[in-house]
Amino acid sequence: MSMGLFGMFLEHQMGLTAATFRPEFGDPTEVIGLLWPFVEALQQEPAKTYVLTMPYNPDGEADFDVMLMTLAVAPDEPMVTRSDAALTVWHERVTQAIVVLGANAALGKPVILPPRQLSKAHRQVAAACLWLHEMELPYFPGTVTAPTMPPGRA
């Protein structure tokens, strides 16, 4: 988790600072739902073929983090891929974040939720800032199964 970019985003969107922000904790599956558009974006061509055929490339770490920082500053703009390597980082981070969130849900462990006062689109960006920016992978790349479409999202 990256509280830094998350905090910057909240300050920019809501005027909240570390001193004034009071996090709400809740169901990890809510965060999975907020991150799901980041999975769906990778299921569109040409990204889909690339992330399914190319191994994780750590050279894309910085590029992906810049993509998230840009999204945090301009959350209403589409995310622009900076490199093919960044696509592999994006895929691995969102996959592992969803696995970790799913484990927390199974254990009944609450997680920080993006503020409900934000629009759904901005809550999605806040979740990405918190869970995907500068993420240290808990599992070796390529060892966890990619998430599948949740029920009712066909």
The whole-angstrom separation of Cα 3 and Cα 23 is 11
pLDDT for the residue 119: 94
Q: What is the pTM of this model?
A: 0.90
Instruction: Map residue 1 onto helix, strand or coil.
Output: coil
The confidence band for 154, taking pLDDT boundaries of 50, 70 and 90, is: very low
Task: Find the mean pLDDT for residues 59-84.
Answer: 92
Looking at every residue in the chain, the average pLDDT score rounds to: 90
As a whole number, mean pLDDT of residues 37-48 equals: 90
Question: From CA 109, how far away is CA 77, in angstroms rounded?
Answer: 33
Residue ranges per structural domain of the chain: 3-14+25-131
Residue 67 predicted with pLDDT over 90: yes
The average pLDDT across 62-88 equals 91
| Band (93; pLDDT cuts 50, 70, 90) | very high
Q: How far apart (Å, rounded) are the C-alpha atoms in residues 143 and 71?
A: 28
Task: Describe the crossing of helices 84-107 and 61-73 by its angle, rounded to 10 degrees.
Answer: 80
| Distances from the Cα of 47 to the Cα of 10, 11, 29, 102, 111, angstroms | 29, 32, 25, 24, 30
Distance, in Å, from the CA atom of 25 to the CA atom of 17, rounded to the nearest integer, reads: 18
